[in-house]
Homo-oligomer: A and B are copies of this chain.
Amino acid sequence: MQVMTDLDTAAARLEALGNPTRLTIYRTLVRAGDPGLAVGQVQERLGLAASTLSHHLHRLLIAGLVTRERSGTTLICRANYHAMHELVGYLADECCKDVELSQPSADQPSAACR
């Protein structure tokens, strides 16, 4: 697994997920799994204004956490597991060495969790 080295990238993804509405959207897409969901289906499930949803999806998209693919007039959205995995890997490196193994840092190793 490729370790995310860019702190700003990690921060951008954390910020993208750090909004209850967007985290709910992301969660919905994760649970939808491989087939993904059309924008309209997400809107239906969450009851957001179309423009609001579009705005949040855009944020998730530019953060790399969601991918989109056109299928006719509808756009299919999917959670990008790779980006999330990178992010979790980054957090694990920063804190919880026991969740994911990583190259030892020059600094003193962080204490084990729990």
Contact = CB atoms under 8 A, between A and B. Distances in A.
Interface of A: 1, 7-8, 10-20, 23-24, 26-27, 30-31, 33-34, 79, 81-82, 84-85, 87-88, 91-92, 94-96, 99-100, 105, 107-114
A96 B85 contact: yes
A81 B95 contact: yes
Nearest to A65: B95
B31 A105 contact: yes
Contact of A15 (B18, B87, B110): B18
Contacts of A7: 20, 23-24, 27
A39 B29 CA distance: 40
